[in-house]
Structure 1
Amino acid sequence: MKRKNHFPKLALGLSIMFAMSSLTQAEVVTSIKPLGFIAAAIAEGVTPVTVVLPDGASEHDYALRPSDIRRIKNADLLVWVGPEMESFITRSASQLPANKNLELTALPVIQSHLVGEDDHDHPSLQANAINTANSSDRELSDSHSHQGTYNLHIWMSPEMALMSATAIHDRLVQSMPAQKIKLDSNLSQFKDSLGDADKQISKQLSKVKDNRYYVFHDAYTYFEQHYGLSPLGYFTVNPEIQPGAQKLHEIRTQLTEHKAQCVFAEPQFRPAVIDAVSRGTGVRKGTLDPLGSNISLSQDSYVKFLSQLSSQYVSCLKPMN
C-alpha cells in the first residue's frame, strides 16, 4: 500500500498559521508613552497599541533593540513626534510606507502651533482652546522642515493632543474603513473627556498659577502656557547636559529673589544639582513626570496623565502652612 505524503498539507497548514500570526501582530506602535495614551483612546476596541520607549528610559538617549525594530516594521501605524525629538526612531520610520508612518510634527496643523524654545508668548496657545482644533488640515507636509529650534513636547498641549488624536483617527480609518463607526465614536469620546478634564484642571491650577517655580528641563511650556502658570525657568533644554556653575548660581539667585516656592525634578532624571541649588533656600522640591511612566495604556490614560501632572504641580505649589 502506497503511503500518502502529508508534507504538502503540513506545509500549507504552517503557512496559514504564520499568516494568521502576522495578522494578529498588527498594532499601532508609538515612540513614547504619552503618544500611546492618545493612540489608545482612539484605537480602543479596534487594534492594540504598544510603546517603544520603556518606562524609566529617556527619549533623548534610547537605542532600539532588535525586537523594537521588528515591532516597528510590522506596525499598522507608527506614531512619533519627529526626528528632532526621537532620533532613535528615524531610521526605522524611514523604511515604512508613508501611510504607516505618522510623524506628528510634519502635520501642518501641528507645525503652526509649535513655539520656539524661548518663545513664551505664542498667540495660538491660549487656554480653553481645545475645541478650536482645526481638523481639516490633516495631510502630511511634503517637506520636513528642520525643527531643532522648536519645543517639540507636543503631548503637553491638550490642543495638540486633540490634533494628534484626529490624525491617528484619520489614518486608522484609511487602513481600517470597516472600523470607521467605532473610530469615530472613540474620537468623539476623547474630545468630550478631554474637554471635561481641561475645565477641571483649569479650576485646580487657578489656585496656584501665580506661584513661581523652576522645572528641570524645558518640557512643560505648552502645558504651562495653556493653564497660565508662572515658571521662573528651567535648568536645561537637554537633560543629558548638566547646567554649568554660572547657570546654577543664576538659578539659586532667582529662587531667592523671586521667592520661588518649588523646584521640580523628574523620575527619569534626579540630578544632584537640584538638591545643591535648593539647599538652604527653603524652596520645596517636587517631581513632574512628563512621560506618565506609572500610568497604563487605556482609553482614558491621556486624561489621567494630564490630571496627574496637574496634581503634581499643585502638591508642590499649594500654600505653605
Structure 2
Amino acid sequence: MRPTAALTFSALLAAATAGLMPAGALATERVVVSIKPLHSLVSGVMEGVGTPELIVDGAGSPHSYSLKPSQAQDLQDADIVFWIGPALEPFLEKAITTLGNDARKVALMDAPGLTLLPTRSGGAFEHHHHHDGDAEHHEEGHEHEHGDEADHNHAAAEHEEDHDRQHADADEHEHGDAEEHDHDHGPIDPHLWLDPENARVFVGEIARVLSEADPENAKTYAANAKSLDDRLDGLEATLTDDLKPVRGRPFITFHDAYQYFEHRFGLASAGSISVNPESIPGAERVAEIHERIAELGAACVFAEPQFTPRLIAVVTEGTGATSATLDPLGAELDNGSELYFSLLENLGASLRTCLADRS
C-alpha cells in the first residue's frame, strides 16, 4: 500500500528535524530556471516543497541576456537547470556547460509530445500560410498534436538535426550579421510556452525530472502537476471562447513571438515589424510594414514592454490601426506559480480588446 500524503509529510518533517533528511532528497534551492513563464510552471510543480531560482527577470530578453555574478553562482551550485534550449536562450548554452557542469540540464524544447511549429521567415509573413482551417480545428477539442502530421514530423526532424548543429555553430552565430544571425531561432519557433497545450507537456516533464531527483516528494510533484494540468485545461477553454469573436482580424506584432498562441486559438497575425528585437528596423522595413498595415486593414499593432514603442506611431500613422501591448514573458508580472496564467489571460485580453475596437 502506498503511504498517505500525511504520513509522507510526517516522515519528512521528522527526518528534517533530526537532521537526517534522506540522501536522495532534492536541495530545492538548487533548481534554476531560465525565463519567467517556465519559472512559473516549475514553481507550481514545486509548491509546498521549495522555490526555484530565476535567471532572466523583469524586462530582460532571453535573446541577449548577460549573466550577473550572482546568477553565475546559482548555475555553479545548481542541481537542475530548466530552460527552453539554445534557440531561445543562446547566452545559457556555454554557461550551463562551464558553470553548471554537475547540474542536470533540461531543455524543455526537447520534451516529447510538444506541438512544434516551423520558424516563420521574414517580417511580413503571410498569415494564411499558417492559419487556414484553425478556427474549425480548435473547436473540436484540445489534442496534443495539431496541424498536418507530415509537416509536424518534418519540423520535429529538422529540430533534432538542428540541435546538434547549433552546438557546432555557436561561435558563428555569436559573430554574424545582427539582422540575420543574432536572432536566428533555427527551423523551430522556440516560443513554445505560449501554447497552453505545450505548457501541459512542460508540467509533466518538470514533474518527472523533479520526482527522479527527489523521490521523497514525488507524490507532491504529481499532485501539483495534476492541479496545474486541470487549470491549464480551463484556461485554454476560456481563451478559446473569449477569442472567437476576433478570429481572422489581421494584426501586426513588434516581435514574431506569438505563433503558438495564434495557432492554438485561430488568430490571424499579418506580420512583424522586426525580425530581430535587438536591432532597430531600417527605413525599408518600416515602409514595408506601413504599407502592409494599410493594405490588409490591420486592426492593431502590438508593442512589447521590452522594446521601445516609438516605431508603432510611425508605422500606424494614417492607417487607422490602433496600438496596444503584448507581453510574451510576463515582464511586469510578479514571479510565482500564478504568473503563467496571468500571462496568457493578459495576452488574450489585449488581443480581444484591441481587435474588437475595429468590429
What TM-score results when the alignment is normalised by the length of structure 1?
A: 0.82
What residue identity is the alignment partner of 1:56? A
Within a 5 Å distance, the mapping from 1:1-321 to structure 2 comes to 26-95=29-98, 96=100, 100-110=104-114, 113-118=116-121, 120=130, 127=138, 130=142, 132=144, 144-145=163-164, 146=166, 148-320=186-358
User: Is residue 114–residue 150 contact of structure 1 (8 Å, CA) maintained in 2?
Assistant: yes
CA distance in 1, matches of 2:208, 2:103: 11
Cα distance change, pair 107–97 in 1 and its aligned pair in 2 (3 A): farther
User: Is residue 235–residue 243 contact of structure 1 (8 Å, CA) maintained in 2?
Assistant: yes
CA distance in 1, matches of 2:203, 2:314: 41
TM superposition shift of 1:143: 9.0
1:195-229, CA deviations, whole angstroms, 9 ceiling, x for partnerless residues?
00111111111111122110001100000111000
1:247-303, CA deviations, whole angstroms, 9 ceiling, x for partnerless residues?
222211121121111100000002422211112222101000011122223333312
CA distance in 2, matches of 1:123, 1:151: 20
Cα distance change, pair 230–37 in 1 and its aligned pair in 2 (3 A): same
CA distance in 2, matches of 1:150, 1:123: 21
CA distance in 1, matches of 2:216, 2:332: 34
User: Is residue 60–residue 331 contact of structure 2 (8 Å, CA) maintained in 1?
Assistant: no
User: Is residue 330–residue 339 contact of structure 2 (8 Å, CA) maintained in 1?
Assistant: no
1:66-104, CA deviations, whole angstroms, 9 ceiling, x for partnerless residues?
110111222232111111211111122124357621111
Q: Secondary structure at the match of 2:253?
A: strand
What residue identity is the alignment partner of 1:132? H
User: Is residue 209–residue 228 contact of structure 1 (8 Å, CA) maintained in 2?
Assistant: yes
CA distance in 2, matches of 1:296, 1:271: 23
What TM-score results when the alignment is normalised by the length of structure 2?
A: 0.74
User: Is residue 323–residue 354 contact of structure 2 (8 Å, CA) maintained in 1?
Assistant: yes
CA distance in 2, matches of 1:25, 1:67: 17
Cα distance change, pair 81–144 in 1 and its aligned pair in 2 (3 A): same
1:167-205, CA deviations, whole angstroms, 9 ceiling, x for partnerless residues?
111110001101111111111111100000111111111
TM superposition shift of 1:156: 1.1
User: Is residue 116–residue 188 contact of structure 2 (8 Å, CA) maintained in 1?
Assistant: no
Identity of aligned residues (%): 31
- Between Structure 1 and Structure 2, the one with more helix by share is 2
RMSD after superposition:
2.8
Paired residue for 2:180? none
